[in-house]
Chains A and B, each alone.
Chain A
Amino acid sequence: MSNGSQGNGKPLKVIGKPFRKVDARAKCTGQTLFADDIVLPRMLFAKLLRSHVPHAFIKRIDVSRALSLAGVVAVITGKDLPIPYGILPVSQDEHTLCIDKVRFIGDPVAAIAAVDEDTAFEALSLIDVEYEQLDTIGSIEEALSKNEPRIHDYGDEGNIHKKVHLEFGSVEEGFAEADLIREDVFFYEGNTHLPMEQHAALARFDADNKLTLWSSTQTPHYVHRALARVLEISPSHVRVIATPNGGGFGGKSDPFNHEIAVCKLSRITGRPVKITLTREEVFYCHRGRHPVLMKVKTGVKKDGAITAMDFQSFLDGGAYGSYGVASTFYTGALQTVTYQIPRYRFRGLRAFTNKAPCGPKRGHGTPQPRFALEIQIDKIADELGLDPAEMRRKHLVPPNSLTANYLRVGSMGLDACIEKVVDASGWKEKFKRLPYGRGIGLACGSYLSGAGLPIYWNNMPHSGVQLRLDRQGGVCVMCGSTDIGQGSDSILAYIVAEVLGIDPFDIRVITADTDLTPVDLGSYSSRVTLMTGNAALQAAERARELLTLAVAEKLNAPIENITFAERRAFDVEHPEIGVGFAQAVELAEAKFGTIGTVGSYTPPPSAAQFKGGGVGPSPAYSYSAAIAEVAVDPDTGITKVEQIWIAHDVGQAINPVLVMGQVEGSVYMGLGEALMEDMAYRGKRNLVHKFPSLLEYKSPTTLEMCDVKTFLIQERDSAGPFGAKEVGQGPLLPIPPVIANAIYDAVGVRVDEVPITPEKVLAGIRAGAHGKEARYGPSSAPEITWPEALHVATPAEGGDGRAVPRDVVHK
């Protein structure tokens, strides 16, 4: 996709303009149909019976009493769906309903379809399950020390799901060059997505035994795959329609047990079956932020230049694999794309525990290491007596470069981001100069604009768009992408409208329907604007080409003169000579037949050719810098975040209002993670979720939200449509560390873990007052045996992105 073809240099009419979303009116007036709003004749309602014990063998399930309740139509258990599934090919470890073992409180064991929700709910209590309880694994430490009982019978060893060890260049040589080496330990507590819409799904088998599933999913393509496999039907007989999601944030990215259960129940009963999860059940679905313990060793020169970094992460994965292997690699992947790290080692471990499964949440595996990295950089600057903003700016990764771990950085606007927030916040007058109790901090971040590799490795496009033009001038854009509130439907319309010179609201957008739309892999990894945008751009340019030929012929004008704008196609040298857009389509249809074009996008090949190199590469990286000003009450430890300045390098804003919405939403979510959110469990053995409800799981409200001043940095990236990069996830990354760094400036306390609750700040203040280290956080990380490192020579060392063979390493 060449940048030069985008708009032929004429001024942009749609891109960069604050148009409303194409679905805004329907959302505001309540016309949008979410999954739970869909009602079909003869529809049944389903409920899942979930385990109330954290780890047990299922000795017996008796559903006869439930089946005999009036209004109950069908009951299924694990043996009805014996085929396992899971989002990653390497972790096919879930069953729709547990067959012989439950692994966390909330694991489903039976599903009921009844004439109404109340009856289904009542019938749950009539299912008799006999459990033989097993010892539980409740933490990373316990998983390391207890191989038995094993939660799963696969994984690297005992209850360790995955261990990885990568080394890029000689880290020891790097540390030998350092003037200062810091070693710090951090902990990032788990938290959950909290979408407003609870997951819901509706399944219908039709008379030809073809299946349609409507579901609030971010990944209809992967649900499609799982359904065909588990239900043992041809994929061509499965249609998945992702309904508009009332928020996703990564929590609707796995194929889920409730989705498969309603399909099976519909097949058995011959009636449509719907399920809507309760808020409590959404907490059990989880797939949220992994709790991660991190140990970071970094060597620097006196000017803050990093000579080497050794990063260890320990992830508490919960009961299933989910995206966990990818999450593990992500905790080690993106450290290198902000500040130059010439030599880098990453060791990561993911443990299985008897808790709700963790997975991808906004930032997927990168907010935790970013928290550690940005605080450690702050500590290094403090120790070296350098300004943390200046120190960072001096050592940024240059644009168009290749990092030590083979990530190809294109445009890189972090310098401009830092400059912007430093100037806007009055950093130079405030840092280290505010009175005790007030403080200011800085942190940065970076994120992918889409994963460079698909979940199932293949050479096919990651995103496809089909465009249909009709003789009335109607334009329909069809794409598998899913609008989860981020505005991806609107992005498709804006891009096509720009290319064809029409109004975005002239366009009909049909998305996320596996029967009607070409495959898009899903709304995850901040991939949609870049990938579907490029596919839409290609499809629209191809359509414009057809129209151009027909119009040029009609107007007897040179092809290169034909321009599209204001719903017209005309000769740019004689703008009064032209045809309306509908007539242009008519002419093209007369000349070529029915007008339809396709576009698709495949990311460029990755430079990382080593095992594990599939996680991290992206066509482009976004950058953010944030500064926070806080007030800390030294008597109670309460932190009030007064203001955040944040600059985000988005390449090119397709719609600046939507971009700012994503930035502010990220700040909001980051504040919750920084200050209060906590996916915590009760007890050492029973592992009950402490508060699976919005009453007690605390997330900020508008009243806790601080003022946010947002700046967009637009350094166009040649990989993106019109130069666009991601914005949905990246701006969250600097928020947790920026709060921690600001608190240090305010009261001199390092809180090296989130959430930063008042009692932790107070404990740090007290420790300082008693002459101890004014710090709250973990003191050590487990000492374990890691697998032998996969050595990769860095680009600077002349490496080619492949692992160095073992015998060479040991020469």
Chain B
Amino acid sequence: MIPRSFEYSAPGTLDEAVALLQKLGSDAKILSGGQSLIPMMKLRLASPPHIVDINRIPGLDYITEKDGFLRIGALVRESDLERSELVRSRFPILVDTTSVIADPLVRNQATVCGNLAHGDPANDHPATMLALGAIVVAVGPRGERDVPVENFFPALFTTALEADEILREIKIPIPPPSTGGAYLKLERKVGDYATAGVAVQITLNNSGACTAAAGIGLTNVGFTPIKAVKAEAFVKGKQLDQAAVKQASEIAAGESHPVDDIRGPADYKRDLVRVLTARAIVRALERVKGGV
């Protein structure tokens, strides 16, 4: 099948793009990597009258460290993230995440920012960004604003972006020493949405206890990406021994709200959150100690 016909614009600057969005309102849809938009248009699940293609805007494909943040520009592809030395050395959790998204062909096109902007609770980066305490930088006619990622997903397929705003950048705080993170996803086959996914980022203090920076995010077990705040609160200040890990994973499972679907029954998914949380914490702890 082929998409319905649509108008197409390829602005050369962010300002032009924002102006277009302002003019077109809800008729416009931004095209970056097209990972979700193109298939939806092909299946006519979406028929946006106007496509605003931001791929020709220069200077949005950066991965840099600046002012205490890792900054990921709007046109950074998943494959860029996979290959970035900076990311590989400092954020193995991001490599975990990007490498389980779709397949290599899709990852050559798909963007990290688009993975958030689509607002799909089945996408993988949201949970990881929740665990990392990331900040979303939106640009619109009223200028730029920062949105903490925990406020970015108010409802199913909905984000905090206004119709005339573009997600320009993701900012992730550079972690202190003794930090480790991991993202684990269970999928029926490679390229599938998660049956469940869990992201964990922890920092240990001098006495080996978990600091207040702990983050736990859950993929595809609710109508939005879930920040497992109770489990986060539980681990803070604790020595993460076997019993603590077990308890934390049970709390995280309790915070998930899966439904029965083709990926499995709700009970099974809730149980997976438990198993994956425990395994992700263990993996994160290994990485604190320099493991891979």
Which residues of A approach B to under 8 Å, CB–CB?
117-118, 121, 278, 280, 635-638, 676, 678, 680, 690-691, 693, 695-696, 698-701, 703-704, 757-759, 762
Out of A121, A698, A704, A758, which one reaches B264, CB within 8 Å?
A758
CB–CB B262/A118 < 8 A? no
CB <8 Å contact, B191 and A701: yes
- The answer to whether B268 and A759 touch across the interface, beta carbons within 8 angstroms, is yes
CA distance A700 to B265 in the complex (A): 21
Q: Which of B6-57 contact A (CB under 8 A)?
A: 39, 43
Report yes or no: B189 in contact with A698, Cβ–Cβ below 8 A. yes
Please give me the residue from chain A that is nearest to B268 by CB atom: A759
Judge whether B192 is part of the interface by a CB distance below 8 angstroms.
yes
List the B side residues contacting A701 at CB < 8 Å: 103, 189-191
B271, CB-defined interface residue at 8 Å: yes
Closest to B272 in A: A636
Residues of B with C-beta under 8 A to A118: 2
27 contacts between A and B (CB under 8 A): A118-B2, A278-B1, A635-B275, A636-B186, A637-B268, A638-B186, A676-B188, A676-B189, A680-B262, A690-B262, A693-B43, A695-B39, A696-B262, A698-B189, A698-B192, A700-B189, A701-B190, A703-B189, A703-B190, A704-B190, A757-B188, A758-B186, A758-B195, A759-B265, A759-B268, A762-B268, A762-B271
Once the chains are docked, how many angstroms separate the CA of A280 from the CA of B45?
Answer: 13
* Contact A704–B189 (Cβ < 8 Å): yes
Per the bound structure, the CA–CA distance linking A781 and B5 in Å amounts to: 52
CA A637 to CA B262, docked complex, whole Å:
16
The closest CB in chain B to the CB of A637 belongs to: B268
Q: Which of A121, A690, A698 contacts B188 (CB 8 A)?
A: A698
Task: Looking at the assembled complex, report how far the CB atom of A761 sits from the nearest CB atom of chain B, in whole angstroms.
Answer: 10
Chain B's closest residue to A704 (CB) is B189
Q: In the complex, how many angstroms separate the beta carbon of A47 from the nearest chain B beta carbon? A: 10
B2 touches A636 (CB 8 A): no
**Which chain B residues lie closer than 8 Å to A678 at the CB level?**
262
Residues of B within 8 A of A278 (CB): 1
Apart from A117-B2, A700-B189, A762-B268: 15 A-B pairs, beta carbons within 8 A: A118-B2, A280-B1, A635-B275, A636-B272, A637-B268, A678-B262, A691-B262, A693-B43, A695-B39, A698-B189, A701-B190, A703-B190, A704-B189, A758-B195, A759-B265
Complexed CA–CA distance, A704 and B189 (Å) = 7
Chain B residue with the shortest CB-CB distance to A680: B262
Q: Which residue of A lies closest to B274 (CB)?
A: A635
CA distance A759 to B188 in the complex (A): 11
Find the A residue at minimum CB distance from B265. Answer: A759
In whole angstroms, how far apart are the Cα atoms of A555 and B1 in the complex?
A: 64
Give Cα A50–Cα B264 distance, bound, in whole angstroms: 30
- The smallest C-beta distance from A684 to any residue of chain B, in angstroms, reads 14
| Residue of B190, B192, B268, B275 contacting most chain A CB atoms (<10 Å) | B268
- CB contacts (< 8 Å) of A698 on chain B: these are 188-189, 192
Residues of A contacting B191 with CB < 8 Å? 701
A693 (CB) vs chain B CBs: closest residue? B43
A758 to B1, CA, bound (A): 33
Which residues from chain A contact B268 at a C-beta distance below 8 Å?
637, 758-759, 762
Q: A690-B262, A696-B262, A759-B265 are in contact. Are A636 and B275 (CB under 8 A)?
A: yes
Bound Cα distance A472, B245 (Å): 81
Smallest distance from the beta carbon of A641 to chain B beta carbons, Å? 12
Q: Tell me how far the C-beta of A762 lies from the nearest C-beta in chain B, rounded to whole angstroms.
A: 7
A758 and B267 alpha carbons, distance in the complex (Å): 12
Look across to chain B and name the residue whose beta carbon is closest to the beta carbon of A690. B262
Interface footprint category on B: 10 to 19
CA distance A698 to B195 in the complex (A): 13
Residues of B close to A762: CB separation below 8 A: 268, 271
Smallest Cβ-Cβ distance to A697: which chain B residue: B262
Contacts of A638 in B (CB 8 A): 186
| Complex CA–CA separation, A676 to B39 (angstroms) | 22
Closest chain B CB from A258 CB (angstroms): 15
Measured in the bound complex, the distance between the Cα atoms of B275 and A635 in whole Å is 7
Give Cα A635–Cα B272 distance, bound, in whole angstroms.
8
Chain A residue contacts of B265, Cβ below 8 A: 759
A541 to chain B, nearest CB (A): 49
Chain B nearest Cβ from A236, distance in angstroms: 38
Q: Which chain A residues lie closer than 8 Å to B272 at the CB level?
A: 636
- Shortest C-beta distance, B123 to chain A (Å), equals 14
Chain A residue with the shortest CB-CB distance to B275: A635
Q: What's the nearest-Cβ distance from chain A to residue B262, in Å?
A: 6
List the 9 closest A-B pairs by CB distance, nearest first: A759-B268, A703-B190, A635-B275, A759-B264, A278-B1, A698-B188, A704-B189, A698-B189, A701-B190
Q: Write out, one digit per residue, whether chain B residues 230-265 have a CB within 8 A of any chain A CB (1) or not (0).
A: 000000000000000000000000000000001011
| Chain B 179-207: CB-based contact to A (< 8 A → 1; otherwise 0) | 00000001011111001000000000000
Which residue of chain B has the shortest Cβ distance to A122 in the bound complex?
A: B4
Task: Please give, as numbers and ranges, the residues of chain A lying within 8 Å of B188 by CB-CB distance.
Answer: 676, 698, 757
User: Which chain B residue lies CB-closest to A633?
Assistant: B275
Residues of B within 8 A of A759 (CB): 264-265, 268
In the complex, A680→B262 CA distance in Å? 9
Interface residues of B in 86-103 (CB under 8 A from A): 103
Distance in angstroms between the alpha carbons of A701 and B191 in the assembled complex = 9
Contacts of B2 in A (CB 8 A): 117-118
A231 CB → nearest B CB, Å? 29
**Which residues of B136-159 have CB atoms within 8 Å of chain A's CB atoms?**
none
Roughly how many angstroms separate A636 CA and B194 CA in the complex, as a whole number? Answer: 14
A753 → B minimal CB distance (Å): 15
- B151-179 interface (Cβ within 8 A of A): none
A472–B81 alpha-carbon span in the complex (Å): 63
A693 to B190, CA, bound (A): 16
Cα distance, A700 to B191, chains bound together (Å): 10
Q: In the complex the two chains form, what is the Cα distance from A413 to B141 in whole Å?
A: 76
Q: Which residues of B contact A121 (CB under 8 A)?
A: 1
A696 and B188 CA atoms in complex are apart in Å by: 10
Q: Which residue of A lies closest to B195 (CB)?
A: A758
Query: A757–B2 Cα gap in the complex (Å)?
Result: 34
Q: Which residues of A contact B189 (CB under 8 A)?
A: 676, 698-701, 703-704
A121 to B44, CA, bound (A): 12
Contacts of B186 in A (CB 8 A): 636, 638, 758
- B190: A residues at CB distance < 8 A: 701, 703-704
- Which chain B residue shows the least CB distance to A763? B268
- Bound-state CA distance A638–B190 (Å) is 13
* Identity of the chain B residue whose Cβ is nearest the Cβ of A757 in the assembled complex: B264
Q: Which residues of B contact A695 (CB under 8 A)?
A: 39
Q: Which residues of B contact A691 (CB under 8 A)?
A: 262
Instruction: Please report the C-alpha to C-alpha distance between residue A470 and residue B159 in the assembled complex, in whole angstroms.
Output: 73
- Distance between Cα atoms of A637 and B103 in the complex (Å): 24
Hey, which chain B residues are within 8 Å of A699, CB to CB? 189
**Nearest Cβ distance between residue A94 and chain B, in whole angstroms?**
25
Q: Cα distance A676–B262 when bound, in Å?
A: 10
Closest to A638 in B: B186
- Contact flags B214-225 to A (C-beta < 8 A → 1, else 0): 000000000000
Shortest distance from the beta carbon of A460 to any chain B beta carbon, whole Å: 43
Name which residue of chain B comes closest to A691, CB basis.
B262
Closest A-chain residue to B39, C-beta based? A695
How far, in Å, is B30 (CB) from chain A's closest CB? 22
Alpha-carbon distance between A699 and B189 when the two chains are bound, in angstroms:
8
- Interface-central residue, B1, B43, B195, B265, by most chain A CB under 10 Å: B1
Compute how far the CA of A243 lies from the CA of B190 in the bound complex, rounded to whole angstroms: 33
Q: How far does the alpha carbon of A167 sit from the alpha carbon of B184 in the complex, in Å?
A: 55
**Nearest-neighbor residue (CB-CB) of A281 within chain B:** B1
Residue from B39, B103, B189 having most chain A Cβ neighbours under 10 A: B189
The docked-state distance in angstroms from the alpha carbon of A280 to that of B43 is 10
Least CB distance from A346 to B in Å reads 34
Complex Cα distance, B268 from A696, in Å, reads 19
Minimum distance in angstroms from A125 CB to a CB of chain B: 11
Q: What is the CA–CA distance of A695 and B263 in the complex, to the nearest angstrom?
A: 13
> What distance in Å separates the Cβ of B83 from its nearest Cβ neighbour in chain A?
20
Complex contacts, B195 vs chain A, CB 8 Å: 758
Nearest-neighbor residue (CB-CB) of A276 within chain B: B1
Q: How many Å from the CB of B189 to the closest CB on chain A?
A: 5
Chain B residue contacts of A280, Cβ below 8 A = 1
